[in-house]
Amino acid sequence: MSINGRVFSSKTPSKSKLALLAMLLMTTVNAEETLDDILDGFDNEPTTQTVKKRPSTTKKDTLSASNTKHENKEKIEDDIMDGFDDEPVAKSDKAKENVKKNDATDELMDGFDDEPINSAKDKDDKFVGVLGDFTGKVTEQVAFAPNDDSPHDNISSLKTSLLLDYEHKFDNGFKFKTNAKAYYDAIYDIRGTEKYSNDELDELKSEVELFDAYVEGSLADNLDMKLGRQVVVWGRSDTIRITDVLNPLDNRRPAMVDIEDLRLPVGMAKFDYFVGDWRITPIAVVEQRFSKNPPAGGAFNASPNSLPSNESYSDITPALSIGAEFSGWDVNFYASNLHNDTGYFKNGKLNHDKVKMFGTALNVLSGSWLLKGELAHFDGLKYTPTQDKTFKRTDGLVGLEYNGIADTRISYDVSLRKVHDYDQALKNNPLPVEENTYQQAFRVSSDFVNATVHGNYLISLFGKSLDEGGFQRAWVKYDIADGIFANVGYVDYMGGSKRFDAVKNNDMAFVDVSYSF
Q: For each of the chain's 517 residues, which pLDDT tens digit applies?
A: 444 444 444 444 444 444 444 454 444 444 344 444 444 544 444 444 443 333 444 433 433 434 444 444 444 444 544 544 444 444 444 444 444 444 544 544 444 444 444 443 444 444 444 555 899 999 999 999 999 999 999 999 999 999 999 999 999 999 999 999 999 999 999 999 999 999 999 999 999 999 999 999 999 999 999 999 999 999 999 999 999 999 999 999 999 999 999 999 999 999 999 999 999 999 999 999 999 999 999 999 999 889 899 999 999 999 999 999 999 999 999 999 999 999 999 999 999 999 999 999 999 999 999 999 999 999 999 999 998 899 999 999 999 999 999 999 999 999 999 999 999 999 999 999 999 999 999 999 999 999 999 999 999 999 999 999 999 999 999 999 999 999 999 999 999 999 999 999 999 999 999 999 9
| pLDDT attached to residue 450 | 94
| pLDDT attached to residue 125 | 45
> What is the distance in angstroms between the CA of the first residue and the CA of the last residue of the chain?
61
**104 contact partners, CB below 8 Å, separation of at least 6:** none
Alpha-carbon 80 to chain mean position: 62
pTM: 0.74
**Preceding amide of 294 cis, omega within 30:** no
User: Could you tell me if 437 and 448 are in contact, meaning their C-beta atoms sit under 8 angstroms apart?
Assistant: no
The H-or-E segment that residue 116 falls in is none
Work out whether strand 266-275 and strand 278-285 pair parallel, antiparallel, or are unpaired. Answer: antiparallel
Report d(CA 153, CA 143) in Å as an integer.
10
| pLDDT attached to residue 309 | 94
| pLDDT attached to residue 132 | 53
Helix and strand numbers (H, E) in the chain are 9, 22
**Domain definitions of the chain by residue range:** 2-109, 136-516
DSSP 365-385: EETTEEEEEEEEEEEEEEETT
User: Could you tell me if 33 and 76 are in contact, meaning their C-beta atoms sit under 8 angstroms apart?
Assistant: no
Report d(CA 213, CA 236) in Å as an integer.
25
User: Could you tell me if 394 and 376 are in contact, meaning their C-beta atoms sit under 8 angstroms apart?
Assistant: yes
Work out whether strand 266-275 and strand 408-419 pair parallel, antiparallel, or are unpaired. Answer: unpaired
CATH of domain 136-516: 2.40.160.10
